[in-house]
Amino acid sequence: MNECANCNKSVYVPDGYEFNEGDLCTSCLNDKVDRLQALVDSADEPNGSLMWTSDHDKILARQEEQWKTWGIIEVAVLNPNVASYMEHWENRAVKAEARIGRFIKLLDAASHSLRSYQYGNSAVDLAKGIADSIDKELIL
């Protein structure tokens, strides 16, 4: 037996037509159409349920202002693909800056070692340690 999903009334289905579970009888379907039509009609009214609210207007105004005043970076980071791309390059820059800092320390140590040789000191262990550190850093 075919029953309306809303009111459970028996529904006549002519031959050649299919009645699926969840289908509505004619009166329930007409009622649903009338409610939808009333909802659409209310959109034309000042406080209709489909009208833009003042919150929507504020959001649109803020977004319009942002599009007019933001630079390319502010707009670009809203795109997740651009944001991840920028994060990748920022991380590379941070790593490069850290590596430059390590090289500066190694050059400073090498300079002190060479100065000690200039004044007649021979520190073979110091020279070997600095050379090993420089080699290790260059391999990275």
Domain extents in the chain: 1-51, 72-139
Residue 9 to residue 6: CA distance in whole angstroms: 8
Average pLDDT, stretch 89-108? Answer: 92
Give me the amino acid identity at 20: N
Q: Using the 8-state DSSP alphabet, how is residue 10 labeled?
A: B
What confidence score (pLDDT) does residue 43 get?
62
Q: How confident is the model at residue 52 (pLDDT cuts 50, 70, 90)?
A: low
Binned at pLDDT 50, 70 and 90, residue 100 comes out as: very high
Residue 130: Cβ within 10 Å count:
20
